[in-house]
Structure 1
Amino acid sequence: MTFRMPPEWAPHTRTWMAWPGPNPTFESAEELAEAREAWASVAAAVRKYEPVTMVVGTGQLDSARALLGEDVELVERDLDDAWMRDIGPTFTLSEDGRELAAVDWTFNGWGAQDWARWGHDAKIAAEVADLTGAARHASALVNEGGAIHVDGEGTVLLTETVQLGPERNPDWTREQVEAEIHRLLGTEKAIWLPRGLSGDYGRYGTLGHVDIVAAFAAPGVVVAHSQPDPAHPDHELTKDLIARLRASTDAKGRQLEVVEIEAPTVLRDEDGEFVDYSYINHYLCNGGVVLCAFDDPRDDAAAATFRRLFPDRTVTLVDARAIFAGGGGIHCITQQQPKAG
């Protein structure tokens, strides 16, 4: 039976998340507290539109319930970190839409990074699949949910430094990676970007996830991160990535329409490091768009663009700076379960 990954704008049954616990990503009690507040804010925003299930590490239920309230379902499982997009399953549906499946990629801590722990997180996709009753489709490909984005009509976005990087799949060829992706997601054409944003190669980076760079907003339409300031290393990089996207066609032969979304005006964090703040790392839920905010002058412009792209959805801005401090954004901490049947 053939399964395919629906686009994010297709109807969801629920959203899955994972609760931050003490781990190397959140180096101090203050950082952990800030992360939990941010995760809770995202969960509250999503819950307005669909059910949310939060996987909570063993012994962390009280901390989660205190911030999440009674309206978010909690499930206790062993966890290492809190990035459900990457550690959770990638859900797919049968061709007739009746049966739910869950792709269980091999997870190795974003390329076996020295700070990462993944003994528990490598098992979470299977745990979530079991909780949903989905058929589990295991893969030997080292991959994460933030490293793919689909249009639901046969096209998938990938980055070479992730699926083809020596930290993840040193023995896989491009052809082998594409074959495995297509087999599991029901896609037919891969559009490869050479790399991700500069900040994604620092500590806590993913080594190039696509979901902070580009995402499908509709078949044939991609939103892409644009850095207009020449002082930022992503200035020339994003011009190149956008040009590559504009030169690409999707699985249906359509030339991609690229909607550029300018990065926030802030260039560096408190430590002086260049930030990779991005509005692209948003999340679509039933009737809503949950959009990263940075207390920045460009927040409103980004929200206006998403309102234009999704006129039937309500755009909710959530401060994502504490999430980005840990290495990701709103899309990175959420995972949609598409509606079967």
Structure 2
Amino acid sequence: MWRMPAESAPHERTWMAFPREGVTLGDTVVAREEGYRAWTDVAHAVARFEPVSMVVDPTEIARARRMLDSSIEIVEAPLDEFWMRDVGPTFVTDPDRPGALGAVDWIFNGWGAPDWAEWQKSALIARVVAEHAGAEVIDSLLVAEGGGLHVDGVGTVLLTDTVQLDPRRNPHADRARVEAEMARTLGATDAVWLSRGLTRDYDEFGTNGHVDIVATFASPDHVLLHEQRDATHPDHEVSRIVRGELEAAFAALGRSVTVTGVPAPTTLRDDHGWVDWSYINHLVTNDGVVLCGFGDEAADARAAEIVADAYPGRRVVLVDARPIFDRGGGIHCITQQQPRVS
């Protein structure tokens, strides 16, 4: 039976995708350079802890070779979108078959097929990555993205109604059908449903509520939650609602789970409205955590301390994630872990 390991389980490597020109990267030279640098900085931070493989569109090979450390493996394949958590496969293992590695190939339609998205090439990337990793492809008829789910590694998955049940993604799905597919592909025996994600994530370029910016499992009995403490920000109420939903769901399952709030940075707005800057969107690596930084010295330090306590024995490295958030996501969104198999 396939099961998705916790992100804190040992990794073979992390997969990423290098940016390419298009609406996501930006329409000026300055914006594009900022995007290239942000993705590169994350790759180099991850590479301090484990190998990194980078899928690169043929148009960007020369730039990728120039900007990336030589230790980072380059895999050439056509791309349009480059959020590897969402376009790539979700890796799983089979405890009954030592050495077995699976790769769930969800249907990807650009987060609900919005008019602006270019996603047809990246919809094929999961199979490219799976083949390169030597993984068995597990087909799914569910439109889903890796950023729309989080697991604890022992059978529980976090989901949001506005992603999995989005009529632009899965018009005929209900919770029961989604849970059955999570059981088949990820080995999930329990689903914890949240009603929504952060406010900014419902804008034109958002994902409609990905869970990986709201809540994550640090361990099966410990959840980290985005906590917006400023009552003028709409995510103040979202944080309160989500905390209540988490506590009620785990109580119904008869589980004692600690929910720790990670306070948001003090910045509330940018030129486009309410920000969704969240420390929850981090990547756990072998011996480390690559954490979003936001240029807020006190808030960044406080988040790093909370995260270090949540993942004992791991070193926390901050990377400025503001350019990534400007484009619709964070560090977790642009990375995908491949678990180590015996």
Same fold flag (TM > 0.5): yes
Q: Within the alignment, does 1:49 sit opposite 2:49 as a pair? A: yes
Match of 1:104 in 2: 105
Q: Check conservation: 1:87, 1:122, Cα contact below 8 A.
A: yes
Match of 1:26 in 2: 25
Query: Offset of 1:252 from its aligned partner?
Result: 7.0
Match of 1:80 in 2: 80
Query: Tell me, which stretches of 5 or more residues in structure 1 are unaligned?
Result: none
Match of 2:293 in 1: 293
Query: Tell me, which stretches of 5 or more residues in structure 2 are unaligned?
Result: none
Deviates more, 1:253-262 or 1:84-93: 253-262
Residue type matched to 1:5 in 2? M
Match of 1:181 in 2: 182
Query: Offset of 1:230 from its aligned partner?
Result: 1.0
Match of 2:283 in 1: 283
Distance 2:85 2:165 in 1: 20
Query: Offset of 1:237 from its aligned partner?
Result: 1.3
Query: Offset of 1:249 from its aligned partner?
Result: 1.6
Q: How does 1:85-234 map to 2 (within 5 A)?
A: 85-96=85-96, 97-234=98-235
Q: Check conservation: 2:44, 2:69, Cα contact below 8 A.
A: no
Distance 2:43 2:198 in 1: 26
Match of 1:330 in 2: 331
Q: Check conservation: 1:221, 1:259, Cα contact below 8 A.
A: yes
Query: Offset of 1:58 from its aligned partner?
Result: 1.3
Q: Check conservation: 2:283, 2:290, Cα contact below 8 A.
A: yes
Identity of aligned pairs, percent? 53
SS in 2 for 1:105: strand
Distance 1:48 1:167 in 2: 39
Distance 1:6 1:253 in 2: 22
Distance 1:14 1:92 in 2: 14
Q: How does 1:296-307 map to 2 (within 5 A)?
A: 296=296, 297-307=298-308
SS in 1 for 2:238: helix
Residue type matched to 1:47 in 2? A
Query: Offset of 1:27 from its aligned partner?
Result: 2.4
Distance 2:267 2:88 in 1: 31
Q: Within the alignment, does 1:68 sit opposite 2:77 as a pair? A: no
TM-score normalised by L of structure 1: 0.97
CA-to-partner distance for each residue in 1:88-136, whole Å, 9 max, x for gaps? 0000001234200000000000011111011101100011001111000
Residue-pair matches, total: 339
Q: Check conservation: 1:220, 1:250, Cα contact below 8 A.
A: no
Query: Offset of 1:251 from its aligned partner?
Result: 9.9
Residue type matched to 2:274 in 1? F
Q: Check conservation: 1:153, 1:252, Cα contact below 8 A.
A: no
CA-to-partner distance for each residue in 1:27-55, whole Å, 9 max, x for gaps? 22222211111111111111011000000
Q: Check conservation: 1:14, 1:52, Cα contact below 8 A.
A: yes
Residue type matched to 1:31 in 2? A
SS in 1 for 2:273: coil
Once superposed, which parts of structure 1, at least 4 consecutive aligned residues long, lie more than 4 Å away?
none
Match of 1:5 in 2: 4
Query: Offset of 1:307 from its aligned partner?
Result: 1.1
Residue type matched to 2:228 in 1? Q
Query: Offset of 1:25 from its aligned partner?
Result: 1.0
Distance 1:252 1:239, change over 3 A: closer
